[in-house]
Amino acid sequence: MIKLPRTALSPTTVRNVHANFDLLVKHITTRLPAIYIRKAPLISDPATSIATTTLYTTSAKIQEFGHFRIVATLVTTRAGTGGTASVTIGWNNGSSNQSATSGNIALNTLGSEVDFVLTFLVGTGQNITYATTVGGSTGNPAYSLNIKLEFLS
């Protein structure tokens, strides 16, 4: 517990701190993350691209919008002789479509990994999507994709 000298706490200061604390508690208890999606690992064997797939759609009914965080991990689970893979996340901020793409994993290196963390604003009634792109795949490699999506505010 922090102790402050009595002279530092006027009655006005105490009232203001109490009012702000009440607002903070109300905000925390009413805005806890309502969405937490963990996508089971997707295995691409052999390594091929995954077309754009909807992970989550914000609700237009309840005017759901806000900041989301996504964590996506690609891992080479069977090495081939060549190729790369990346993951692309897509969303609409309420004004226009947006996307971001991770770095590449090497499909010729077992355990090659890329972790992609992204925070973004999504508008009401919009899709959050993912897709993978595989290029130059040779030698029958495979990879896994793990995704976690959280609503922040």
Residue 62 reports pLDDT greater than 50: yes
| Dihedral pair phi/psi, residue 109, rounded to 5° | -130, 110
pLDDT interval class at 138 (50, 70, 90): very high
- pLDDT tens digits along 74-132: 999 999 999 999 999 999 999 999 999 999 999 999 999 999 999 999 999 999 999 99
| Dihedral pair phi/psi, residue 98, rounded to 5° | -130, 160
**pTM here?**
0.76
- In the chain, the domains with their CATH numbers are 33-151 (2.60.120)
Max CA pair span of the chain = 75
Highest mean pLDDT among 4-13, 53-62, 118-127: 118-127
| Dihedral pair phi/psi, residue 61, rounded to 5° | -65, -40
Residue 9 or residue 27, greater confidence: 9
Is there a contact between 78 and 136 (Cβ–Cβ < 8 Å)?
no
